[in-house]
Structure 1
Amino acid sequence: MGIKIVLLVIFFAVMVGVGIYSRRHATSVDGFVLGGRSVGPWLTAFAYGTSYFSAVVFVGYAGQFGWKYGLASTWIGIGNAVIGSLLAWVVLGRRTKVMTQHLKSKTMPDFFGERYDSKALKIAASVIVFVFLIPYTASVYNGLSRLFEMAFHIPYAWCVVVMAVFTAVYVILGGYMATAINDFIQGIIMLGGIVAVIAAVLNGQGGFMNAVFEMAQIPSDVAVTEGQPGAFTSFFGPDPLNLLGVVILTSLGTWGLPQMIGKFYAIRDEKSINTGTVISTVFAIVVSGGCYFLGGFARLFDSPEIYDSATGAVVYDSIIPHMLSSLSDILIGIVVVLVLSASMSTLSSLVLTSSSTMTLDLLKGNIIKKMSEKKQIVTMQVLIVFFIVISVVIALNPPTFIAQLMGISWGALAGAFLAPFLYGLYWKGVTKAGVWAGFVAGVGLTVSNMFLGFIESPINAGAAAMILSLIVVPVVSLITPRLKKEKTDAVFACYEEKVTITKKRSLQQE
């Protein structure tokens, strides 16, 4: 217990220390929200990765999907690395940085307002962010608290409150720069922790080959492959179609999440984009791939402790904590700090995104007509506390499974924003009506499915919302009035500006 407590004290002290150090970067709105748009590749890449992967992935998703799909759940981690990190940086990184800086937009709703010349779109987008980031924020606490209860026997409520307080302190003190530096530190912990935990768990099962052999003997209980042994060690697992839905939501979904896209706004230069692409992809392979690979062995740890005593159903969120409960004290301490790192990095990104969106896109110029630079920063700091308090209240009375909250939030946000944002960076032909159609399709499908349940899994509903939006936006845009040519030409002029670079970066024809 002493080792665990020492690790936690050091961890929290470093987080607060970084917040104090970063105060000088948070004296302006641009500094508080985007770190002055001068954040280097390592900090940006780690901020992207740690915001991507939280306790939801390590505890909720890895346990649930590892149980359902066996070793094939590793495909989710591979999809996260290739689609959610590599392709996201290649397709969105440079264009996002250039256009948002040209439009002087600091948030995703601000981008919609400037890009499509519509204050109504900006307000609607900020409301969607406000409504759907809160359940996402609440879901971050749940997985962490289960590990704390296992490791320290501390009540769930205390875990939630302590984590919320420390996150609020360093985000309020240092803004984006504090979250970026802490994300880097937390990311290093996550990388080392995942490798150590996988090695320890597999070693406890007689090594990798023996663990795979034992998994191959387990008959499938999935309807698609009922009773078939070896399904949980097969290439695509017992249920490939539902597995694909998870890959789409958790990988492509990041392209439309405001807290993820915001990282591209803050990038410093061209080199940062190239370096950040490689770093964030490697990070995703190790962290996400490692989490789902570990979860793939979940059925080897089948015991009464992971079942609900009343209903007999598997409690997915308890699988990973149960897998780790037999590890040594030092390893459990590392796991707790690992998941704490993953959770606090995601939480800080979410509350900073929510507060900046609420202040800059909803309150400023609409409810409060005149807001000085200092007043905007103070308002954001107050709203950070507000968002954290609301998320704590929800987290203290959470739904049954983390993944349900996560799936609904990701589905609504990515379904609404992915298509209008992606097309808006590349195509002049997107219309206001097309963007509205994308918002309605994404949010409408996700919310209606919550109540009607025509798609059984909220994960698949989120994936369907994104695909529907990607179809609806261009179709509606082709049959509705375009924006004025002068407006779109002015927006896209940023891509045509001439810059001088070295031949090391680009070859020039003679």
Structure 2
Amino acid sequence: MDSLDLLYGIVIVVFFAMIIGVGLYSRKNTKDVSSFVLGGRRVGPWLTAFSFGATYFSAVIFIGYAGKFGWDFGVSALWIGLGNAFIGSLAAWVVLGKRCRIMTKTLNTNTMPDFFGKRYNSKALRIASALIIFIFMIPYSASVFNGLSYLFTSALRLDRISNGYEICIIVMSVLAATYVILGGYMSTAINDFIQGMIMIVGIVMTIVCVLNYHGGLMSSMTELSKVPAANGSSFQGVYSSLFGPEPLNLLGVVILTSLGTWGLPQMVQKF
């Protein structure tokens, strides 16, 4: 084990301890179902905003956007980020935020199935929505843990040991389950705030390092313009263009990733 591995290990242990500590701290405020599921409706705007953002942009921003969309669309992938920011986040809060807050508080509901059941006075709708959420949250959660496991396996060089990926995904699953069970939504919101700050710092550092490596923004764009299109397009500099090599596919991704969050239960519950 070299000094870099030791440093990684210390940082990870401190981070894990901090997350568990947040769970233990939040546990004292978890008295009933409402405080466990919604934090007693006492979560402030900053925690709520960061929780929404960290849930929205988790593994997808580092694995999906950078590793897939950035590779496929080049600079035009920024349209996805803009769509997510203004349609998936800002517009969702403007249109749904206050309305959901008022209605759920008036009906005294804690979850989406509970809301549907009381709003439409339908036990069947409540059961159906609960089943839909339960079934489709499984592949969603699996994809998030899968992406994060690949990221940490690569970053921490766990691929050098046997079953490094499996160890990583088990540790993260147990860790997430522990702090959620301990502190409920309040624990999740605080940890999301911490992780959101880490994500912001990490993204800024990545951008600075990449641009610095290529000699600045204009030099980076010049280098990117020399990359030939994977779809065989003869257009020179397609990856540095405004709409990229596949504008229609890009539009579809913007719509899918921006409007899809409006109906995700883990996002709507933040309101």
Q: Normalized against structure 1, the TM-score is what?
A: 0.50
Supply the distance in 1 between the matched residues of 2:143 and 2:197 (Cα, whole angstroms): 23
1:75 aligns with 2:84: no
Whichever residue aligns with residue 91 of structure 2, its letter is L
The answer to whether residue 154 in structure 2 is matched with residue 150 in structure 1 is yes
1:249, CA displacement in angstroms? 1.1
Give the match for residue 202 of structure 2: 193
State the Cα distance separating 1:68 from its structure 2 match. 1.2
**How far off is 1:199 after superposition?**
0.7
Map 1:27-106; keep pairs closer than 5 Å: 27-106=31-110
1:39 CA drift (Å): 1.0
Structure 2 residue aligned with 1:228, among 235, 238, 262?
235
Displacement of 1:6: 1.4
In structure 1, the residue matched to 2:221 is 212
Please point out which of 10, 13, 21 is paired with 1:9. 13
What's the counterpart of residue 239 of structure 1?
246
Instruction: Kindly state the Cα deviation for residue 207 of structure 1 after the two structures are TM-superposed.
Output: 2.1
For residues 208-256 of structure 1, give each alpha carbon's deviation from its aligned partner in whole angstroms, at most 9, with x where no partner exists: 2111001112232326xx2211111111111111111111111111110
The answer as to 2:168 corresponding to 1:159 is: yes
Aligned to 2:211, which of 158, 179, 202?
Answer: 202
1:256 partner letter? G
Structure ranking higher on relative contact order (CA contacts 8 Å, 6+ apart):
2
CA distance in 2, matches of 1:201, 1:139: 27
Pairs within 5 Å for 1:82-481:
82-154=86-158, 155-222=164-231, 226-264=233-271
Aligned alpha-carbon RMSD (Å): 1.2
The CA deviation string for residues 90-113 of structure 1, in whole angstroms up to 9 with x for no partner, is: 111101000111111111122111
1:156 deviates by 0.2
Contact 1:30 1:106 in 2 (8 A): yes
Residues of 2 paired with 1:222 and 1:153: CA distance?
33
Letter of the 1:244 counterpart: L
Aligned 8 A contact 1:46 1:180 in 2: yes
8 Å Cα contact 1:56-1:139 kept in structure 2: no
Which whole-Å CA distance do the structure 1 matches of 2:156 and 2:238 have between them?
A: 37
Shift of 1:150: 2.2
Q: TM-score, normalised by structure 2?
A: 0.93
Give the Cα separation in 2 of the matches to 1:243 and 1:74: 10
Contact 1:71–1:232 under 8 Å retained in 2: yes
Equivalents in 2 of 1:198, 1:6: separation in Å?
A: 25
Query: For the residues of structure 1 that align with 2:153 and 2:43, how far apart are their CA atoms?
Result: 37
Alpha-carbon deviation of 1:148? Answer: 2.5
Q: CA deviation at 1:115?
A: 1.5
Is contact 1:109–1:121 with CA below 8 Å preserved after alignment?
yes
Residue 153 of structure 1 deviates from its aligned partner by 2.8
Cα displacement (A) at 1:168 = 1.1
Structure (1 or 2) with the larger CA radius of gyration: 1
Q: Which residue identity lines up with residue 267 of structure 2 in the other structure?
A: M
Q: How big is each residue's C-alpha offset from its partner over 1:377-425, in whole Å with a ceiling of 9 and x where there is no partner? A: xxxxxxxxxxxxxxxxxxxxxxxxxxxxxxxxxxxxxxxxxxxxxxxxx
Structure 1: stretches of 5+ with no match in the other structure: 265-510
